[in-house]
Structure 1
């Protein structure tokens, strides 16, 4: 039997520079099916987009509701689904892994900061990631989010490199320096072994350019859910006007 995590992991490797792995971010089962029908080989849920679909502010979704949403998304499609589970909701690594696998996820995003306390100690976080890896074995693709660009680090590129090296050594399959600009990607690519996740640019620039600059994979966060919500709002307004 094919290991779905192995299938997903393989999508991160042997890619040409201008061909990043593009992973749309479904927020519910219907959007997940739409992205699969469009031909995407895998999906990556955004915690903020799922939160909005459930009526929560970003970062305030109860863990039970987030895992239930991931389960609905994963069971609605046949392609691999990676789940953004923020900083793990304070769950012990074995329980976190068990809940992800029970929900049908084959990968996860794990953040290295909190809103209340800012950036976590990198070595302590790497130790925690190593525990998650040990609990998961090869059943999950770990995407270690690096928050130096969004948490005011003095030198976000240098600190991102240091953290990336620690996290990859701890067993992360991919690192995600969220908020890194296009100009930072060549520096990160030159210094970091392994796949690098970049956030899809909001300025509409071509995704291939981000791949050529060093991004192995590109995710969208809540961007697609917000665009869909805007479109629904525009439709509602036209209906209200009787058009």
Structure 2
């Protein structure tokens, strides 16, 4: 079974309370740590990689992002999905080629640009082109930014999600959706549902998110930011 087939299989038959948990490594070392911890797959965060490379979130040059993804993929044996933001203006065929060259089996693609929601039908058409170019070689996670940059209306999120699923998205990611609306999103969205988890103990645990409807849980740059805080604490301790 190929890595992408393994990755797809990990999304199937998830029981409530048992979502697929995908940590977000930002370099080869953190990827190996996550693999050694027993995670069956990983999902790189664009914001975490940006910070590690010295860029602001959303400003990483495409070449640097794909090189970083390739380092993560090359460091581990488990499948890796890559957050490639809005696709860096690449044509669908080139975007797919670069993801596959980097070794990724999946990708996050967001439906906003510089904090403004894209037209959902135009974005769906673009996703359909990505799907056509990728065939079955990539697992496409369509991010829905209604809660991040829109009015936060769950029905609008469901409408956008339906268009993306119809275009061939394998999974939908309503980033920033409040926990209390997850059951509504779950009932209105076909296929796997990706939910953003928190690592500060202030939100539902992955198990609780699964009980609310999450098929899989990712953390964005959460691991990288927490590691940076811990390093700061250690660095401060060296000065005492």
TM-score, normalization by structure 1: 0.96
Instruction: Provide the residue aligned with 2:195 in structure 1.
Output: 198
How many angstroms apart in 2 are the aligned matches of 1:214 and 1:152? 22
Instruction: Provide the residue aligned with 1:93 in structure 2.
Output: 92
Instruction: Provide the residue aligned with 2:16 in structure 1.
Output: 17
Contact 2:22 2:43 in 1 (8 A): yes
Instruction: Provide the residue aligned with 1:180 in structure 2.
Output: 177
Contact 1:3 1:139 in 2 (8 A): no
How many angstroms apart in 2 are the aligned matches of 1:185 and 1:119? 21
1:235 aligns with 2:234: yes
Contact 1:107 1:141 in 2 (8 A): yes
Instruction: Provide the residue aligned with 2:218 in structure 1.
Output: 219
Instruction: Provide the residue aligned with 1:142 in structure 2.
Output: 140
Contact 2:27 2:68 in 1 (8 A): yes
Instruction: Provide the residue aligned with 1:73 in structure 2.
Output: 72
Number of matched residues? 238
Structure 2 alignment gaps of length 5 or more: none
Structure 1 alignment gaps of length 5 or more: none
Give the deviation of 1:205 after TM superposition: 2.8
How many angstroms apart in 2 are the aligned matches of 1:98 and 1:212? 36
Give the deviation of 1:206 after TM superposition: 1.9
Instruction: Provide the residue aligned with 1:210 in structure 2.
Output: 209
TM-score, normalization by structure 2: 0.97
Give the deviation of 1:114 after TM superposition: 1.1
Give the deviation of 1:54 after TM superposition: 0.3
Give the deviation of 1:240 after TM superposition: 1.4
Contact 2:179 2:204 in 1 (8 A): no
Contact 1:197 1:215 in 2 (8 A): yes
How many angstroms apart in 1 are the aligned matches of 2:239 and 2:57? 29
* Moved >4 Å (runs of 4+): none
How many angstroms apart in 1 are the aligned matches of 2:28 and 2:87? 22
TM-superposition CA deviations, 1:187-223 (whole Å, max 9, x none): 0011111000000035153211100100000000001
Instruction: Provide the residue aligned with 1:127 in structure 2.
Output: 125
Contact 1:75 1:104 in 2 (8 A): yes
Contact 1:28 1:73 in 2 (8 A): yes
How many angstroms apart in 2 are the aligned matches of 1:187 and 1:45? 28
Contact 1:44 1:83 in 2 (8 A): yes
2:164 to 151, 167, 180: 167
